Amino acid sequence: MRTARSICKIPAIVVVLILLVCAGLSAWELYSSFWPTVDTALKELAGRYDAKLPEITMRSGKAEIRGQQPHFIVKDKSLVLVIDTREDRQKDASDYLKDVSDGAVLIRDSVVIKSKGQIQAIPLKWIPDFVFNSQNLKTLLNEYLPMVTRLLLLVLLLYFIVVKLLQAIIFALLTYFASRFYSVALTYGEAVKIAAVALVPPVVLDLLLYLLGIKLPNAFIIYFVLYVALLVLAVLDLARSKPLPMGPSTSINP
């Protein structure tokens, strides 16, 4: 069987298509593993906003809410989340956070955040005029979420195109130098073709495990062990298909 040698003869465009398919499958798997959950969570948060938070009006980089203030969202021994947009309450922000290790205070022109004892203020001037409530957030998600989804898919696809290409280029070195050990004539370009085709089984296996809901610890190790094993088998296949040198024992006498 000369499978590896046959792979060496496939056109470059086929190799490119194989890499694109592998990148597409990996991108779709990663996207499917987390984005639907994020999408649902964002829509649920928008639907529950009015029940959990007051309506916040942003105008010219300044926040404003109606009703009694301060408005505590969370208040316990370790975490405080509070809204106080009254005038001249900047000093009160530090008072709200002094007895906790983590927290955040929305004041009129900034958000004061405390994390692990460190306090920093983030200005609100970059936030456009907007009224935060359930209806407006749902409208915002319906308008922009499809675009964000398409952009995310494109970014993931480009990322995996680069990753799969690098994997083929780097692991082709293994095939290339291993072929030298067996004295097999193999160019680096042919080694890249073998490395690209060898990506298909690990990528498909990874996708099947995801679709079947099988979660294996250190699955990436299985991916690379299978990948390297296929490359080694390809080199052995090349070595077996190497033509025998002509010598006295193999020559035909007239």
Domain coordinates of the chain in residue numbers?
Answer: 3-38+136-240, 56-131
Q: Splitting the chain (254 residues) into consecutive groups of 10 residues, what average pLDDT does each group show?
A: 84 96 96 93 92 91 88 88 84 82 91 87 90 94 94 97 97 94 92 96 95 89 95 92 54 40
- What does the pLDDT read at residue 243? 60
- Its pTM stands at 0.78
**Residue from 230, 58, 31 nearest 131 by CA:** 58
**CA-based angle 247:252:254, to the nearest 5?**
135
- What does the pLDDT read at residue 217? 86
Residues 6 or more apart whose Cβ sits within 8 Å of residue 79: 100, 101, 102, 103
- What does the pLDDT read at residue 97? 87
Residues 6 or more apart whose Cβ sits within 8 Å of residue 90: 107
**CA-based angle 162:164:168, to the nearest 5?**
115
> Rounded to whole angstroms, how far apart are CA atoms 244 and 234?
18
The strand pair at 79-83 and 102-106 is best described as parallel
